[in-house]
Amino acid sequence: MTDRDTGRAGHRRAPGAGTIAAGTTAPIGVPGWVIAAAVVGTAFVLLPLASMAWRVNWAEFIRLVTAPASLDALWLSLRTSLVATALCVALGVPMAIVLARIEFAAKRIARALVLVPLVLPPVVGGIALLSAFGRQGLLGRNLELLGVSVAFSTTAVVIAQTFVALPFLVLSLEGALRTAGTRYEAVAATLGAGPTTVLRRVTVPLVLPAVVSGAVLSFARALGEFGATLTFAGSLQGTTRTLPLEIYLQRETDPDAAVALSLVLVVVAIIIVAFTHGVGARPLRGHRDQPRRGRPSMADRPPSPAPAAGTKRETRSGAHRPPKRFELRASVRERDVDVELEVAAGETVALLGPNGAGKSTLLALAAGLIAADSGQARLGDRVLFEVDAGGRRRARRPHERGVALLAQEALLFPNLTARDNVAFGPRSRGTTRREARRVADEWLGRVGAAELADRKPAELSGGQAQRIAVARALAGDPELLLLDEPMAALDASVVPALRRLLRDALAGRTTIIVTHDALDAVTLADRVALIEDGRVVDSGRTRDVLERPTTPFAARLAGLNLLVGTLEAGGAVRTDTGDLLRAAPSAGAEGSAPGSRVGVAVRPSRVAVWSDPPASAFASTSGENAISGIVNDLEPRDDGIRIHAGAIAADVSPSVVADLDLEPGTWARFTFAEADATYFPL
C-alpha cells in the first residue's frame, strides 16, 4: 500500500464519500421515505414552538417574565419541583428495585398501579388526591383532627407533582435494572458483600445514569404539572400558584405575558431533555478488547514466581484460612439436576461435562445463587443449605458462605478501579479500608498487574481484566473457590500465563473448576468429576478418568475413541454394534471375566481409513481391527481432517479425503492395530 493509499502524503485525508472514519460503524442506509417522514415529524414538533417564539413581544419580554406574580410562580415551581424530585428518588428507587429484582404473585398488577398516573388525566389525579388528602378525604380528615391541613397548601403542590412524576423515575430505572442484569450483584454477594453493600457499591453505581435521567425527567414533569395541582391545591399566589397555573391565568388577562412565560418553560424543557439524553445515553462499560496503545500488554507477562517447594505463601495480613471439606448433595427439578460431589480440604476438582450438563448449576448451588429443591451442602462443619423431608429450607445467604465465584467473564465492577475491585472482598468481610487496599496491592503484584491498580475496567484488555478478577476472587480468602471456565473467553496467548498463575494460587485451596480443556484438568486439578445429564457419572484421579473414559464426552475430551462392548473368551471384545475387536488389557483389566462390560480406547491418529462397501465386521489374524460404517461428519482440524462415523473417528490428511472421495453418507472402513488399542473395565 502506498502513502497515497493511506493518506500519509503530507496531510491526513478527512473521511468522505466511500470512507469510514476509524472507530465508527459502517453505514447501513435508511430508506428515503423514512427520512421524509422524519422531516415531517420534526416540522410538526418545531412549527408550534417556532410560532410561539415568533409571537413573543421581545421588547417587553424582560418586564413580562420578571413581574412579581411571574417571579413568585417561577420560584414556587422550582422549589416544589425540586422537593418533588427528591421524593421521587427516595420512593421511586426502592420501588424500581423491588419490581426489577423480586418476583411475587401480584407483580404485574403492582407495576400497572404504579404507572397509572402516566395515563390518568391530570384532573382525575387531582380528584384522587383530594379523596385521600382533602379535608374530608380518607387520610385528610384524620390529619385535620391533628391540626394538619394538606389540601390547598404548598405541601399539596408537592404531593400533586410527586404523584404525576414518580412513574417516570420508576419506569426509567426499572428498565435500566433489567438491562444491567444481576451478574455483578451475584459476584459481589459471593465476595462477601451483604445486600445493603451490594446495593450501595454495585447496583446503584451501575444504574446511576438511569437514576439521574429519571430524576431529571421527574423534575421536568413536576415543573409542568397543571391539572392535578389546580384540582388539589388551588391557585393562591405565592402558595400554590405554580408557573403553569400563572400562564393559564395570564392567558385571559395578558396574552403577551402568557406567551413569554410559556417560552421560559419551553427553554427549561429543552435544557432538561438535552441533559437527560446526554446522561442516559452513556452505556455501561466493561473492559476493552485491546490494551491501550503504547502500553505493555499483560497477556504475555508471566505471573509472579511460584514459591519454593515446601514453602507456603502468606500475605501481609497473614496466611489464608485452613482449607475445609466441601460436600454437596442436591437436586433442582426445573433443570433436571441431581448431583453429589465431595471435595477434600485443599483439593482442586475439575468439573467436566458437555454444554447443558449442569456444571454451572452445581456452582450456583454452592454459591447460593439458586435454591435446591432437596439436599444439603456443607463446608467444613458449617451447613450452607439444607432442605428437609417436608421441603422446609434453611440456607445461608451468599455473602455468609465464605464462597467466591469467578465466572467466565471477569465482571469487574465498572465504577471501581482495579485496586478497589480487588479490595472489594476484604472490605465486604470487615477489613479496614487501609488493610484491604494493602492486600489488594499485594495480589495485584502476584498476578503481574500492579501498574494497572488505578485503571478502570474500561481501560483494560480481556487478559488484564481476567487476571484482576482472579486476584479479586482470592483476595477475600474464600474457604471455597469456584471457577467457571475462567479461561474460556480469553485469547490463546493469554491462557498459558493465567494457567500458571492459577496453578500456584490454587495450591492448598478447596476449589472446583469447570473446564472443557483437558490441559486445565491435567495441570490444575487433583481429581476430575464428570457430569452428564445433571448427574455426576464418574469421578477419580485426573489421569485415570482421562485414560479410561467411560462416556463418549470423556473420550472426546481425552482425545480418544471409546468403543463400548462385552469381553469374550480369549480377550476379544464384541462391541454393542457387533464388531469384534482385539486390544491389549490396561492396568487392572487383566482379571476381567468374560461377559463383563469394557471399553476399548484408541486414538484417532492411530486409525486408518479405506474406501469400503458395507461388510460384516471381522478381526483379522494379523492383529488389525476393522470397523465399517457410514461417514457422518468431516471436521477440519489444525493438522488435518477428522472423519466421524458413528462411535469411531480418524485423523487423516486432506489428500486422503480427496483420494478416497469421502463425504457424509459414504461408506468407509476404519482399521487400527491391536497394539494401538487398550480395553479397561467400565
User: What's the CATH number where 449 sits?
Assistant: 3.40.50.300
Cell 463446608 belongs to residue: 379
Residue 161 placed within a domain: yes
Answer yes or no: is pLDDT of 266 > 80.
yes
DSSP output for 505-521: HTTTS-EEEE-S-HHHH
Answer yes or no: is pLDDT of 159 > 90.
yes
How far apart are alpha carbons 383 and 669 in whole angstroms?
A: 56
Please state the rounded mean pLDDT for residues 613-640.
72
pLDDT of res. 306: 40
Q: Are residues 531 and 570 in the same domain?
A: no
Residue 449 CB neighbours (<10 A): 25
Residue 631 placed within a domain: yes
Residue 174 placed within a domain: yes
From 255, 280, 305, give the residue that closes a domain.
Answer: 280
Answer yes or no: is pLDDT of 15 > 60.
no
- 378 - beta bridge partners? 327, 383
pLDDT of res. 27: 58
For residue 490, what pLDDT band results from cuts at 50, 70 and 90? Answer: confident
Q: Are residues 576 and 662 in the same domain?
A: yes
Please state the rounded mean pLDDT for residues 254-267.
88
Q: Are residues 354 and 494 in the same domain?
A: yes
Percent of the chain with pLDDT over 70: 87
Tens of pLDDT, residue by residue over 105-155, are: 888 899 999 889 988 898 999 999 989 998 888 888 888 778 788 888 999
pLDDT of res. 436: 94
pLDDT of res. 413: 94
How many structural domains does the chain have? 3
Please state the rounded mean pLDDT for residues 180-200.
92
pLDDT of res. 155: 92
Select from 171, 197, 169, 205 the least CA-distant residue to 87.
169
Please state the rounded mean pLDDT for residues 253-264.
88
- Give, to the nearest 10 degrees, the angle between helix 208-223 and helix 68-101: 140
State the alpha helices, DSSP H only, in 154-301.
154-180, 183-190, 195-198, 204-206, 208-223, 227-233, 243-253, 255-280
How far apart are alpha carbons 96 and 114 in whole angstroms?
A: 10
For residue 617, what pLDDT band results from cuts at 50, 70 and 90? Answer: very low
Give burial (CB, 10 Å; 0-12/13-18/19+) of 342. middle
Residue 292 placed within a domain: no
For residue 270, what pLDDT band results from cuts at 50, 70 and 90? Answer: confident
Answer yes or no: is pLDDT of 299 > 50.
no
| Contact in structure between 671 and 617 (CB atoms under 8 Å) | no
From 256, 280, 304, give the residue that closes a domain.
Answer: 280
Q: Please give the grid coordinates belonging to residue 48.
A: 408550534
Q: Are residues 537 and 570 in the same domain?
A: no
Tens of pLDDT, residue by residue over 556-575, are: 888 889 999 999 888 899 99
Answer yes or no: is pLDDT of 19 > 50.
no
Q: Are residues 583 and 535 in the same domain?
A: no
Q: Are residues 260 and 158 in the same domain?
A: yes
Q: Are residues 368 and 458 in the same domain?
A: yes
How far apart are alpha carbons 469 and 454 in whole angstroms?
A: 15
Answer yes or no: is pLDDT of 323 > 70.
yes
pLDDT of res. 316: 33
Tell me the residue type at 421: N
For residue 308, what pLDDT band results from cuts at 50, 70 and 90? Answer: very low
Q: Are residues 359 and 417 in the same domain?
A: yes
Q: Residue 511 sits in which domain range?
A: 326-542
- DSSP at 226: -
Structure-model confidence comparison of residues 252 and 492, the more confident one: 252
How far apart are alpha carbons 316 and 366 in whole angstroms?
A: 29
Answer yes or no: is pLDDT of 314 > 70.
no
From 479, 512, 542, give the residue that closes a domain.
Answer: 542
Q: Are residues 567 and 538 in the same domain?
A: no
Q: Residues for the chain: how many in total? A: 682
Q: Are residues 580 and 665 in the same domain?
A: yes
pLDDT of res. 527: 93
Answer yes or no: is pLDDT of 404 > 50.
yes
Residue 133 placed within a domain: yes
pLDDT of res. 310: 35
pLDDT of res. 290: 43
pLDDT of res. 317: 36
pLDDT of res. 613: 57
Average pLDDT over the chain reads 84
| Contact in structure between 647 and 659 (CB atoms under 8 Å) | no
Answer yes or no: is pLDDT of 350 > 90.
yes
For residue 518, what pLDDT band results from cuts at 50, 70 and 90? Answer: confident
CATH (domain of 616) = 2.40.50.100
Please state the rounded mean pLDDT for residues 388-400.
88
Q: Are residues 142 and 272 in the same domain?
A: yes
For residue 591, what pLDDT band results from cuts at 50, 70 and 90? Answer: confident
- DSSP at 202: I
Answer yes or no: is pLDDT of 401 > 70.
yes
CATH (domain of 78) = 1.10.3720.10
For residue 500, what pLDDT band results from cuts at 50, 70 and 90? Answer: confident
Please state the rounded mean pLDDT for residues 317-340.
84
pLDDT of res. 453: 94
Residue 306 placed within a domain: no
Annotate 387-422 with three-state secondary structure: ECCCCCEEECCHHHCCEEEECCCCCCCCCCCHHHHH
pLDDT of res. 47: 92
Highest average pLDDT, of 90-104, 285-299, 636-650, comes from 90-104
pLDDT of res. 304: 45
pLDDT of res. 403: 92
Residue 636 placed within a domain: yes
How far apart are alpha carbons 509 and 475 in whole angstroms?
A: 13
Q: Are residues 90 and 176 in the same domain?
A: yes
Residue 198 placed within a domain: yes
pLDDT of res. 376: 94
Answer yes or no: is pLDDT of 6 > 80.
no
3-class SS of residue 548: coil
